[in-house]
Chains A and B, each alone.
Chain A
Amino acid sequence: MLDRLSFPQPWLSLILFITWQLLSDGISGGSLVLGFVLAWAIPQITQGFWPERPSFLNVWRMPRYLLRVIRDIVTASFQVAALILSGRRPRPRFVCYPLELEHPLAISILASTISLTPGTVSADVSDDQRTLLIHALDADSDQQVIDTIRERYEQPLLEMFPC
Chain B
Amino acid sequence: MNPIAEYLVAALLLLGGAFTLVGAIGLARLPDFFTRLHGPTKATTLGVGAIMLSSVLYFSCRGEGIGISEVLITVFLFMTAPVSANLLAKAAMHIGVATMDGTEGNPWEQ
Contacts and interface: CB of A to CB of B under 8 A. Distances in A.
A93 B19 CA distance: 24
A121 B85 contact: yes
Given A84-B29, A84-B30, A93 B108 contact: no
Interface string B72-87: 1000001101110110
B39 A84 contact: yes
A121 B19 contact: no
A89 to B, nearest CB: 7
Interface residues of A, number: 37
A40 to B, nearest CB: 21
B48 to A, nearest CB: 11
Nearest to A114: B82
User: Considering residues A76, A119, A122, A124, which has the most beta carbons from chain B within 10 angstroms of its beta carbon?
Assistant: A124
Interface string A116-157: 101101111011000001010100001000000000000000
Contacts of A96: 105
A81 B34 CA distance: 16
Interface stretch (B2-10, B54-62, B95-103): B95-103
Interface of A: 19, 22-23, 73-74, 76-77, 80-81, 84-85, 87, 89-96, 111-112, 114-116, 118-119, 121-124, 126-127, 133, 135, 137, 142
